[in-house]
A and B are shown apart, each in its own frame.
Chain A
Amino acid sequence: MALLDVNELVKHFPIKYGLFGKVIGYIRAVDGVSFSIDKGSVLSIVGESGSGKSTVARCLLRLLDPTSGTISFEGKDVLSLKGKELKWYRKNVQAVFQNPFLSLNPRMSVESILTEPLRVHMGMDGSEAKGEALRLLERVGLSPEIAKRHPHELSGGQAQRVAIARAIAPHPELLILDEPTSALDVSVQAQILNLLAELKDELGLSYLLISHDLSVVRYISDRVAVMYLGRIVEEAQIDELFNNPVHPYTKALLSSVPEPDPKARVLRSRIILPGEPPSPVNPPPGCKLATRCPYAMELCMSREPELVDIGGGHLVRCWQLTSLK
């Protein structure tokens, strides 16, 4: 049984207009997304802005209520959890957000930030909590004097480490990482990625990594799902996706990643998609990529393909599998 199972998750945001807030349309941010995460593994969801990946994360964290679909964690239906059971879920599913200067309360000292989850979920108090907080700081590579500081006194890397320490404090099973390195400098990014990799092995964590950066995803994931306009268009084991991308969007995404090494660049087959994604308010009826896809046929414009397993757990949503493979 998988640790986390998501089935046909849908989230539509109503667009209201006028004095009385009449609903005139919907932003179809997530339009039917299914995936699962096995214990101890890392699934990444990759997509550009507007793909719906962050919305998926927010639904999983119950910061948003999905329009439809089911989420189950260790077999339990997440969306119906209340009271003690909800608290159990919160203890086990934690998050690290993109910008640590925004995700840490600027008025709290690092020590208070870390003791909060210890009090809520581990029943620790006073000196016991403070001691554990210092241990957490050490675990993420920070010195104990950081405990008395406030977030704005820290560097980006240090602040994100504090955010990670806070997330692992209640001993969760699953960490949802929403663009954890996008706001950091390159050299700091590497430090944080290494830390995340270590923690995963040491603490037996599972990760859901949301990112727009394919290089980051490659470094740390076991499986990757590519999202476009609210749908998963391709999903595969990590090396398989990078070595053998099938969906035109995945290919375009991969070939757009700037590659420093000129030798490696030559090996890449370039597709650059023209134009921009259509609005998620009125997505085209067929395949969402049809308006930009170099291989689009009439069928693609009118009917949306299903996700098909082309072998070894490699899923693709495209009508032209035989020619593209």
Chain B
Amino acid sequence: MKESRREFLKKSGCALSMVTLATQVQHLGMMSALAQKLDDSKTATEGGENYKALVLVYWSGGSDGNNVVIPNHNDASVSNYAAYSAARQTQGLALAQNTLLPISVPSVGGLSYGLHPSLGTVAGGLNNGIHELWGLGKFAIVTNCGTLVSPMTKAQYQNNSVQKPYQLFSHSDQVAQSQTSISNSVAFTGWGGKISDRMTLGSNPTGIVPMVTSIAGSQIFTAGQSSLPLAIASANNTGVPNLANVLNPAGFNTTAASVARRNAFNQLRSIDLDSNYVAAASNVTDLAIQANNALQTSQEVTVTFPNNSIGLQLKQVARLIKKRLDLNVNRQIFYVQIGGFDTHNGQLVTQSTLLSQFSQAVRAFYDEMVVQGVSNDVTTFSLSDFNRTFNPASSGANVGSDHAWGNHMMVIGGSVAGSNFYGVNTTNGTPFPTLLNGGPDDTSTGTGARGRWIPTTSVEQYAATLARWYGLPENQLPEVFPNIGNFTSSNLGFLT
């Protein structure tokens, strides 16, 4: 494997590494000395045998976790199915108990919980979904996780004695906070990008593409201070079916006139950089042109992926992982997204469809990682804007739910200590919140209370656990996660 990589390097003498590129794209002072300063103490390692990747699947719009992980037991000492049903049945939002996919949860005394039925086998499905991975120990859930500045009780929430995340329940702000991990102030960089800032030179010293790749456009998660992400189309975007085409400028050939035009096309990006906007456009185009050189040999995946947005995004990720040796990368972070979870209405049908697409795609991706022999090296995890109100919005066929807070996140991969709930215990002594509008875990009290769970586990703790597994040095955790010191643990234990 090493040899093939060296041969590749020899063959592609013209291909620039990202380190070389860094010195070239000084337009905005982006690829700056910062990264060097942070990384030069570390030993550069060769790519390949030491590979790890994080894959973020973002549930865009705020997924209703209350209908994804549901009590499936009758134990009245913690919220049981009856408690769930009582609050959601009238308006028609409760899922029938006999449709739930049971999971046994050691950290809640072995009680049974149920997953949304779309996470198992589905009509017309390509695989058995992710429910099966729970039984195989490759799937864990981090419960009641959300944006926090520091731990907060209901009393503290209500008397404002602890700083709240700014603009709770607003999409754009909660998206930003989940992706930056910072909830007390507006940030310009995401935690994926910040990890890249600190690890690119040490881990991918001869990498040909950036450490971070988005298959879902520009996302703050992917933006670093000194490193920028690649953002490419998913596997099927009409007209750009494969990696060789996703960043390839069309219309050139080898005639002298065409070569002259191509050279000019490239040269124009090195001038007129006094304008910050011109410089920014040139910078992102440069990044694309450099990466394009590396993507000209594509490798197809083995497993069949669903032919929908999330399936084709994850298929593109799987192709890039398969090319990791050619790209000379030891560490990669990917961002993919599945949208439509903002179910203020029509939730039952919409969420069922989306979860089924998610489950089918993530399972196909996991299976492909097994085929590629890297399932222990690749961890897939979820984030979302927020959970939704336990109390439904509207009713009947239109029934949906509104914006809320603490939610249940999923982690899948060979290194996951699966088949369990993780996270800090709620007031009921388990990691799972008490499902009661106006109850001890709700922000509000009284008749207007709608069931917005105050998170007990912060996004920072969740993210720090993932980052540590990925290889972010312990002493850099507080740089990437500035408020992590406010929490008792930076390791939730769901990764081995």
Partners in one complex: no
* Interface of B toward A, CB cutoff 8 Å: none
* Interface of A toward B, CB cutoff 8 Å: none
